[in-house]
Chain A
């Protein structure tokens, strides 16, 4: 059937199983939006800023595991997507972003609302395409989705000029695509996998270090199974949280800059580190030279460039994490007697870790006069559904959430790890709620990051997305303030948000509900009431203004040089 480019794009999205897109109309996508007007198979959500649209698609993708889709017009619409795209790129989130472009004849002429978005997004997309001929469109969309979701996932941008949306051609959607320059290694090398199991069984102090790759590969079940069978303790990165239940006795919690004492001590003292879907980020390793100094390192990752990028690796395994883990389980099952004995022999090592946990557990000084942020996080866990989805912004509240919320299921934490994007949380929660209208979705944010995308309350109200917005308000850009306190002599340069905003009234102005707690005794009732209200709610907690995130490994220090109380 003959169709125009705009219609072809929509048909392709439908065939890819896309149900919801987040987009913002404009001059060069007006034809696309005209087709969308009568195209009922796809639900379109209009954010109030293109950046939020991409973050929403990102939150949708993280929560569901599907490819998120966002649309923006050319020029400023396209440039507004950049932060969202870079956020997804750093955390390997599968997205397809469609931008309008000026007609092909005008490209390069500095036309109205023209920008070289292909050039701009080259370093922050997995790949991008400029569609110059409507005949190529269907194949390009197929390729874009394939590239976005396969291998190490990531965002792919399609730049679609206005005249290509108007031009017509016969539509047929390819069943599959073959890209000769793109053949990700999915299957881990069987001999390497056997070797890995032997190395684990030969170790005395092994530790599994889990990153976001386990979540992305849907490998949480296999990982949990393997760790439990082997009796090996597990530490997770921010991105890996949820892939191993934190209420399991084998969980040692978060590692790295704000990791637990026992996790960082375990890394420093282990004799074998099994990294799974993690990339040895500087926030995780601290000083590289003293990272896991006594350990042999096994590194499982689907992306070969991650291996040996930052640390030496003794045994690399390139492949899909889920497949590699299930193969390891099989190899372990073949020698179950040995595995059982091994797990038993690890008791002293687990005891050593337990002793570190008892020595310096995660904690805070409680107060009856002022609300401690950690208390709010703990109460949120206690009073929310077990499968609740939590988005965070970036900063202190993000670390408190990572430390105190306790994540037991994958895809329940949505957080910008790699790029550290303030303003991410609210729109990401919006995307997750759009995917799961019945599940409890909340965003935990600070007063700073919240203000970066607070216009999205309008989108929540308009689309009946009952996201619960938790603001831990200290009237500070808290994380930077903490650094200024510890390393810059308390010179709080530009970190005090002096204007006291009435967030309750703000919520009401948008047609949402607002609640506020100023005393510890009010925390529980506000959370309970907030969760009970059917629509979007702001719950503002006036917290201890100069509370710090601890422990903390100062930038550039070794993991065992933690500041525990300051």
Chain B
């Protein structure tokens, strides 16, 4: 089962390698990982999408917590969070397909951010499932290049956590 884990870490060099090394060293999967500093500059926040049964997920959270540079770990899988991901998509757009690409972009409230006579580059944001959906529609038209950020997640409600 897919899990979205948010990890609050010290904003120091080497922390990313500690976290990534923990996953590779213990044979845990990483589907995606995104990391950037938070509103407090000494902290960074990672969003990791991983998979495994309950026992593996328990080990992943415990092992992450064991790292000295990790301050807090939350497993958001219970639906208590909103997830968003961005994709930049370069797609073939010639003749008739130009209009079709525009229609799809419109339906998904995405944006065209670069245009050439032969292609469009699209910026799409949304839950990972939405990105999957737009890709499914664009793929038959000719996907030239794709880059996804992996999701970031934030808890629902008024309460914020900083660590």
Contacts and interface: CB of A to CB of B under 8 A. Distances in A.
Contacts of B14: 118, 122, 130
Interface residues of A, number: 17
A351 interface: no
B21 interface: yes
B21 A305 contact: no
A123 B58 CA distance: 20
A345 B123 CA distance: 74
Contacts of A309: 59
A180 B42 CA distance: 12
B17 A305 contact: no
Contacts of B10: 181
B68 A308 contact: no
21 contacts: A118-B14, A122-B14, A122-B17, A127-B68, A130-B14, A147-B68, A179-B68, A180-B71, A180-B163, A181-B10, A181-B67, A181-B69, A181-B70, A303-B66, A304-B65, A305-B59, A305-B62, A305-B63, A308-B58, A308-B59, A309-B59
A97 to B, nearest CB: 16
A304 B73 CA distance: 14
B55 interface: yes
Contacts of A487: none
**Size class of B's contact patch?**
20 to 34
B69 to A, nearest CB: 5
Given A181-B67, A308-B55, A119 B163 contact: no
Nearest to A147: B68
Contacts of A147: 68
A96 to B, nearest CB: 14
A299 to B, nearest CB: 13
Interface string B10-34: 1000100110010001000000000
Interface of A: 118-119, 122-123, 126-127, 130, 147, 179-182, 303-305, 308-309
B110 interface: no
Nearest to A304: B62
B9 A181 contact: yes
Given A123-B21, A303-B66, 6 more contacts: A118-B14, A119-B17, A122-B14, A123-B25, A181-B68, A304-B62
Contacts of A126: 68
Interface string B43-71: 00000000000010011001101111111
Counting chain B CB atoms within 10 Å of each CB, the highest count among A119, A122, A123, A181 belongs to A181
Contacts of B59: 305, 308-309
